[in-house]
Chain A
Amino acid sequence: MAVSGIIMLLYLVAHMIGNLKAFAGRETFNSYSHWIRTIGEPAVPAQTFLTIMRILLVVTVVAHFWAAISLWRQARRARPQRYVTKKPAAQSYASRTMRWGGVIVLAFIVYHILDLTLGVANPEGPGTTPYDRLVAGFSNPLVVAFYTIALVLLGMHLRHGIWSATQTLGQSNKRREKTVNHFALAFSVLLIGGFLIVPFSVLLGIID
């Protein structure tokens, strides 16, 4: 759970920074997209790096999802009879939404790939340039709304996930606890802010 989460997290940082190239205009963005597909050429065939990344990500998503489902089932078995009255004392909203939030994020990832990578769920359709698909997709306020909801959920997932992973890996202690939690919050806000700025800029016509 922690290891797969951290791998995805590192990927998200790179992905967010890459997205910001949309501000540099159509050419830069499309050539960045082209560059990803040609890293290492001609030493290795086209798309080698991208394919490795894709395999790694699919494996981590599956591993993370599988671990999440088994934790979820274990928890249900551990308390078949619920409390009539239960009052939470310490849990954050983020920690409470890990499971359903995670499932929504997964659904989002599928839609996101259909939209911007494959283009089949995009108004411009497949066979267009990445920049065109980006602008076309985010011109629709409903698409932006869905991206926003999913990304805010992802942000909360990471807010609890970073703290939880620090505990799981045995790297936390009383002194670090506050720092880790503040870091998790700041990191999540920055990351999600970085992601959201692109769709909103398209919607507001700053990118077109």
Chain B
Amino acid sequence: MTATREGATFATGTAGDDPAMEKHDMTLTLRVWRQKGPQHKGKMVTYRVTDISPDMSFLEMLDVLNEQLILAGDDPVVFDHDCREGICGSCGLMINGQAHGPEQTTTCQLHMRKFKDGDSIDIEPWRASAFPVIKDLSVDRRALDRIVQAGGYISAPTGTAPEAHSILVAKKDSDAAFDAATCIGCGACVAACPNASSMLFTAAKVTHLGLLPQGQPERNDRVVNMVAQQDREGFGGCSNIGECSAACPKGISMETISRLNHDLLGALRAGARPKS
């Protein structure tokens, strides 16, 4: 539990050992999507959790709920998580209708201090036919992996790190490539998009590799194959609404989508066609 606690919070004490803070503990009403398996119909089920500290992360709050359910002999709520530090991208949840909740961060980095005592919180899985529900809040996001497999890589031999100055990259390009490379593949963009489009994710990959010298040899094939794959996976088409970028915990910009389209038009003009 202490793993996600930030230094500052820790220094001022935790709810447990400071009686003055105890009265800040919250009671919440949760409406959680429960679904037995991919073929089952799911529904929202209401639970009540008590003694929630404002310093807890959202996932820790769900841990409390699960402990409660296990003690009562119920089935705990399945949700994905791994690093709990905002880098693995597995913890996506729709919280009160917003991907990763009210703050532009990952669910594991969202803290309960963003909520008030007595709040009611709706928790749903990402909803897209390309992300089938495995159980409860956990969805299968392998469609994103297959988009990357279709072209989100370079095939240059790597070996040991080369001398950094042997291939110069303009600062502007390396910054933009690095910004795009911060995408953690969480799928919030798809979840937030009214079209359930994966365009922002794919655009982040295309931008990241397309701006660097190592990405050039496969640049044209990459964009046509990745776009063809995202269509094959059943994601929706992009109509530039902007919900994706607003929900993205890494703030991937809409500019990447323009860049993808620019590369795509150039690639098609140069005769690149997707592998079938």
B255 near A78 (CB under 8 angstroms)? no
B239 near A171 (CB under 8 angstroms)? no
Residue of B nearest to A172 (CB): B258
Please give the distance in Å from B58's CB to the nearest CB on chain A: 16
Please give the distance in Å from A149's CB to the nearest CB on chain B: 23
Is chain B's binding surface mostly helix, strand, loop or mixed?
mixed
Residues on B with C-beta less than 8 A from A81 are 127
17 A-B pairs besides A78-B128, A174-B253 with CB distance below 8 A are A70-B237, A71-B195, A75-B197, A77-B236, A78-B197, A78-B235, A79-B236, A84-B31, A84-B44, A86-B97, A89-B98, A91-B194, A170-B258, A170-B260, A171-B262, A172-B254, A172-B258
Asked whether any CB of chain A lies closer than 8 Å to the CB of B234, the reply is yes
Asked whether any CB of chain B lies closer than 8 Å to the CB of A80, the reply is yes
B196 near A177 (CB under 8 angstroms)? no
Please give the distance in Å from B167's CB to the nearest CB on chain A: 24
Asked whether any CB of chain A lies closer than 8 Å to the CB of B242, the reply is yes
Residues on B with C-beta less than 8 A from A78 are 128-130, 195-197, 234-236
B242 near A95 (CB under 8 angstroms)? yes
Closest A-B pairs by Cβ, 7 of them: A170-B262, A87-B97, A78-B236, A90-B246, A78-B196, A170-B261, A85-B97
B194 near A75 (CB under 8 angstroms)? yes
Interface positions of A from 80 to 136, Cβ below 8 Å from B: 80-92, 95-96, 98
B98 near A167 (CB under 8 angstroms)? no
A85 to B262, CA, bound (A): 35
B255 near A174 (CB under 8 angstroms)? yes
B129 near A167 (CB under 8 angstroms)? no
Asked whether any CB of chain B lies closer than 8 Å to the CB of A164, the reply is yes
Against B, the Cβ 8 Å flags (1 = close, 0 = not) of A157-173 are 00010011011111111
Residues on B with C-beta less than 8 A from A80 are 129
A75 near B195 (CB under 8 angstroms)? yes
Asked whether any CB of chain A lies closer than 8 Å to the CB of B247, the reply is yes
Against A, the Cβ 8 Å flags (1 = close, 0 = not) of B118-148 are 0000101001111000000000000000000
Residue of A nearest to B192 (CB): A89
Residue of B nearest to A70 (CB): B237
Asked whether any CB of chain A lies closer than 8 Å to the CB of B241, the reply is yes
Interface size class of B (residues with CB under 8 A): 35 or more
Between A and B, how many residue pairs show CB distances below 8 Å? 114
Could you list some 17 contacts between A and B, CB below 8 A?
Answer: A70-B237, A74-B195, A74-B237, A75-B237, A78-B128, A78-B196, A79-B236, A84-B124, A85-B124, A87-B96, A89-B98, A90-B245, A160-B240, A164-B239, A166-B258, A170-B259, A170-B260
A200 to B240, CA, bound (A): 34
A79 near B196 (CB under 8 angstroms)? yes
Residue of A71, A82, A85, A98 most packed against chain B (CB within 10 A): A85
Residues on A with C-beta less than 8 A from B236 are 71, 74-75, 77-79
Asked whether any CB of chain A lies closer than 8 Å to the CB of B15, the reply is no
B195 near A77 (CB under 8 angstroms)? no
Residues on B with C-beta less than 8 A from A84 are 31, 33, 44, 122, 124
Residue of A78, A92, A167, A170 most packed against chain B (CB within 10 A): A78
Residue of B194, B197, B266 most packed against chain A (CB within 10 A): B194
Q: Answer whether A85 and B122 are a contact pair too, CB < 8 Å, given A78-B197, A167-B240, A173-B258.
A: yes
B263 near A170 (CB under 8 angstroms)? yes
Interface positions of A from 151 to 191, Cβ below 8 Å from B: 160, 163-164, 166-174, 177
A171 to B240, CA, bound (A): 13
Residue of B nearest to A79 (CB): B196
- Partner pick for B254 among A79, A88, A160, A177, CB 8 A cutoff: A177
Residue of B nearest to A171 (CB): B258
A48 to B142, CA, bound (A): 56
